[in-house]
Amino acid sequence: MDSQQKKQTTFKRLIGYIKPYKLAFIAAVIGMIGYAGVDTLFFSQIETLIDDGLTEQNSDILIYGAIFVPFFFIIRGFFNFASSYFLNWVGFKVVTKMRQQLFDHLMKLPVSFHDQHSTGDLISKITYDTQQVAEASSRALLVLVREGAFVIGLLGLMFYQSWQLSLVFLVVGPLIAKVVSVVSKRFRKVSSRIQTAMGNVTTTAEQMINGHKVVVMHEGQKKESKRFSEINNTTRNQNMKLVNTRVISTSVIQFIASLSLSMVLVIASFPEMLGELSAGAFTTLLTSMIMLLRPLKQLTNVNSDFQRGIAAATSVFTILDEPIEIDKGSKVIDRAAGQIEFDDVSFGYQQGDDLALEHVSFNVAPGKTIALVGRSGSGKSTISNLLTRFYDVEQGRILLDGHNINDYKLKCLRRQFALVSQHVTLFNDTIANNIAYGASKDVSKDDIIKAAEQAYVTEFTDNMPKGLDTMVGENGVMLSGGQRQRIAIARALLQDAPILILDEATSALDTESERHIQQALGALRKNRTAIVIAHRLSTIENADEILVMDNGEIIERGTHQQLLDQEGAYSQLYNLQFHGGA
Ligand code: ATP
Ligand code: MG
């Protein structure tokens, strides 16, 4: 029952999306009923045509018929247009709204959510699942209302002609309903599998496209192709199952209906019955019964469409129901002084995992520079991730200007940081716009140029015909790693935040450009708090304090000279880098 209830709430929620477009929706429904009405009216005239027109040889009736037939079809066309147009209009409105909601919601979800979901899967929800919701449910609705009304019309006509014969149909009705309900369960299961499979198709394709270079270098084509072919075939299999169920159920239902037809023929053969029925009435009855098969077939398929829509809607709603980033803080400040304190912070990315940070405590005074060094995986980037609240700490506290960072409004907190992270992300836009991305105030072209100069971006853009207005391609593919880093640094420079986090910000630069940028960064650090993460120790020698991390813990701390004098891990590392050993 639980899944049944869930389905009902999904359905109710879906109705909620249609509510704002009530009028268009009603217009569509009127169009559908009108269409069915015209069809029924058409069939009701068969009796007159045969009994009065043909049997009585009344040519007037035939002439009237000739005039009315085109007229019928004009009205029918009009209703058809109204129902299709308004239904699709509402459908596309719903798709658009859902897509936007998904898009907006995905931006608000915590980093941990994105860690756990593949990009392809999420993209497929935005593109495929939303489309499915509208397409499937509007199809289902069209058939349900239009063909449903037609069935009612035909049944009415039949009962009007001979209720005794028509009763047969009522015996068959419940039987058909039973088949439909059995089949619908299967539809739902298969539909949801198809959605998962479509997500896998996008994910696998996206991995191959993104990792194209790795694939060709490691001769992974066969492996990738095999992986994709398996997923591709799963999708096909599931789709075939859907088709199978649909075709078999249609045939079964039509068979049941045909039984009723033969019963009618048997009953009609009784002499009492034969005397009562005119040729026209009997023809109307038979035609109606045969005509009933088509809408009945469509009505049984309605369920597969409907289940497809519900499955897609469930998948969309699951994402929309994911809790967004916790933002309970209310503290708003314009500009932080920049004092940062880690107070006995322990943190693990996932429950049960090893801790990425263990009992980390340190303090940075406003305007000071702290450097984090240590082996790969020792927890340096994690410290940066926690400061910007990409993840929330549960043990220990992180303070900014003496207040827990959870007390700040999230937006306000993040505005205090300019972050150049290990993985530079560029948008498919011009270099200038990438530099200006996220700058709080309206920056002038001059500001951008100044930042570009300071970060040595102009050094390479000057050789480009379009200069700073050059497009960088998707995620900056048209640029070298060092060039990308320089753009990221320029972006941080322009941001003018009180706290600067540089995570391997200059790792891809040659020594000369690095020296120049260090100068610019040095000037920038002057009245800012800075957290500098670097593998190359030369870049952090003049930090106010250096923390040496290992396995999530701070194992040494002090200034460059103090650490050298200690002759511990830092001095070993230093000697290794400067003298190539010893
Ligand atoms: P590097 O110098 O290579 O950048 P790092 O010191 O910055 O290393 P962190 O990125 O802080 O290292 O990682 C610390 C630990 O946390 C590692 O063991 C890593 O496997 C783990 N870790 C990092 N990011 C995640 C994540 N998103 N989910 C789960 N574990 C993670
Ligand atoms: Mg790192």
CB-ligand 1 contact for 139 (6 Å cutoff): no
d(CA 56, CA 190): 57
- How far apart are the C-alpha atoms of 56 and 446, rounded to whole Å? 94
The rounded Å distance from CA 245 to ligand 2 centre is 52
Which amino acid type is present at position 49?
L
In angstroms, rounded to a whole number, what is the distance separating the alpha carbons of residues 548 and 533?
Answer: 10
Taken in order of first residue, the domains within the chain and their CATH numbers are 10-202+246-320 (1.20.1560.10), 340-579 (3.40.50.300)
Q: Is the CB of 378 under 6 A from ligand 1?
A: yes
Ligand 2 center from residue 550 Cα (angstroms): 13
Cβ of 349 closer than 6 Å to ligand 1, yes or no, is yes
pLDDT of residue 582: 42
Give the integer Cα–Cα distance in Å for 371 and 449. 29
pLDDT at 493: 87
pLDDT for residue 212: 87
Query: Is 422 near ligand 1, meaning CB less than 6 Å away?
Result: yes
Is residue 521 in contact with ligand 1, taking CB distance under 6 Å?
no
Is any ligand 1 atom within 6 A of the Cβ of residue 376?
yes
Q: Are strands 403-404 and 395-400 parallel, antiparallel or unpaired?
A: antiparallel
In whole angstroms, give the CA distance from residue 63 to residue 224: 70
Residue 288's closest CA among 561, 43, 18? 43
Low-confidence residues in the chain, pLDDT < 50: 1, 581-582
**Contact yes or no for 543/560 (Cβ under 8 A):** yes
Write the single-letter amino acid at 10: T
Pocket test for ligand 1, best of 347, 382, 422, 555 (most atoms within 8 A of CB): 382
Nearest alpha carbon, ligand 1 atom 19? 377
Q: What is the pLDDT of residues 234-259, one digit of tens each?
A: 989 988 988 888 888 878 877 887 88
Coil, helix or strand at residue 269:
coil
Q: What is the pLDDT of residue 441?
A: 66
d(CA 441, CA 496): 10
pLDDT of residue 113: 94
Cite the beta strand spans of 266-351 per DSSP E: 340-347
Total residues belonging to the chain: 582
Residue 365 CA to ligand 2 center (angstroms) comes to 23
Q: How far is CA 398 from CA 332, 334, 380, 407, 551, in A?
A: 17, 19, 15, 10, 20
Ligand 1, pocket-test mutation among 117, 349, 548, most atoms within 8 A of CB: 349
pLDDT at 454: 87
pLDDT (tens digit, 9 = 90+) per residue, 470-505? 998 887 788 888 888 899 989 988 888 999 999 988
DSSP alpha helix (H) spans, 211-270: 212-217, 221-268
* Residue bearing the CA closest to ligand 1, atom 31: 349
Quote the CA–CA distance of 141 and 9 in Å, as a whole number. 18
- Which amino acid residue places its CA nearest to atom 12 of ligand 1? 377
Is the CB of 382 within 6 Å of ligand 1? yes
Q: Which residues are CB-neighbours of 18 under 8 A, at least 6 positions away? A: 25, 90, 94
User: Packing angle between helix 279-320 and helix 148-161, nearest 10 degrees?
Assistant: 160
What pLDDT score was predicted for residue 2? 66
Q: Can you give the pLDDT at residue 580?
A: 62
